[in-house]
Amino acid sequence: MCLGALVDLGVPLEYLIAQLKTLGIEDEYQLRAEKVHRRGQIATKVHVDVTAEKSADHHHHHHHTPARHLPEIENLIKQANLPQKVQEWSLAVFQQLAIAEGAVHGIAPEKVHFHEVGATDAIIDIVGTCLGLDWLSVSELYCSSLPTGGGTVQAAHGRLPVPVPAVVQLFSQRQVTIYSNGIEAELVTPTGAAIVTTLAKSFGKPPKMQLEKVGLGAGTKDLPIPNLVRLWLGKKTPEKLDEIETVAVLETQIDDLNPQAIAYLSEALLQAGVLDVFSQAITMKKSRLGILLTVICALDKIAICENMIFQETTTLGIRRTIQERSILKREIQSINTVYGQIRLKVAYKESINQPITVQPEYEDCAAIARQHHLPWRFVHQMALAIWQEKN
């Protein structure tokens, strides 16, 4: 349904076919699209026709293609010639799903044996959705509250209640706002839940935006309401004062680890693109000295960051909260000095369009100080003075 909404918005089907071919599994499926009606509304239905073994039930609980483990799926994605953002998003979706499946079955994420979502059409759905969002240059994704559905569904582990355990776990991991609309059917699949819980910044009311286009993606089942995914595309309306950003705050306490491991992990997390990482000395139970590690990251990096923390530390659990923060608009400006060029980070409120803070980049000042044997403070103050003189 996500693919249908994206194609309905204008993403060329030919582009998706060409990019997905780099996964190296093109002999397992065929991709096609058609216009269909759902309760009187015209929409786009994208079909992923599996060519290995045809199945009568093409929804999301697949039994007709070989199951894959997470490392195999990750290798397919990494070896494909996909845009960088598409690769990052796709890997994050499967990692988020592996964490949920692992929690349900009580095993490590990398040991998860994907029965349904490791099948060919689910891989195409996830990677194809990421391709479509990237083609549309979507920078932020928001999602409405999600319906729970009801009844039961047949899966690899037998008949399961709806929503299935993996979907419930994904809802819980992201603290998704849910509701019941009284329809006894599966309305959110693990594949769909993994996509939105990984990529969406928040759930509930849409942000203020200038709506430009709407794409309608059709599902297979005939429901009492139109079985559609609606994708609204538009430009976000800037906040009048400060911009509000939704972030994840990950925390864990550790008392049995060499502090050098924390230093290594902090560098790795920063290279992975977290917004901030810091540690504090704390006293834990039985008066043991420990470390409180805090990581602030974008929502689509939660799974990556948690995996890194588990791999590099001895912690057994990570607390997760979703928070909003006010941020100033920032831009990088450059000035020329007699010693060379220095970049400055300038932050300001759009409402008054005046700088609030100006800070020369540390690395630029340090490089000049070392090269010319000058005090770092002198270079820093010189850069500020030159910028203020010009502004």
For a pLDDT cut of 90, what percent of the chain falls above it? 72
Mean pLDDT of the chain: 89
Please report the pLDDT score of residue 350 as a whole number: 67
pLDDT in tens, 268-324: 999 999 999 999 999 988 888 999 999 999 999 999 999 999 999 999 999 999 999
Radius of gyration of the chain (CA): 24
Side-chain half-sphere of 317: how many Cα atoms within 13 Å?
Answer: 3
Question: What is the second-level CATH architecture of the domain 329-390?
Answer: Roll (3.10)
> Domain residue spans in the chain?
1-52+63-236, 244-326, 329-390
Between the CA of residue 156 and those of 54, 58, 117, 382, what are the distances in Å? 17, 14, 11, 67
> Which own/partner contact pairs does 272-278 have at CB distance under 8 Å and 24+ positions apart?
272/301, 272/304, 272/305, 272/308, 273/297, 273/298, 273/301, 274/301, 274/305, 275/247
Q: Which fold has domain 244-326?
A: Alpha-Beta Plaits (3.30.70)
Residue 391 has pLDDT above 70, yes or no: yes
Q: Is the pTM of this model over 0.75?
A: no
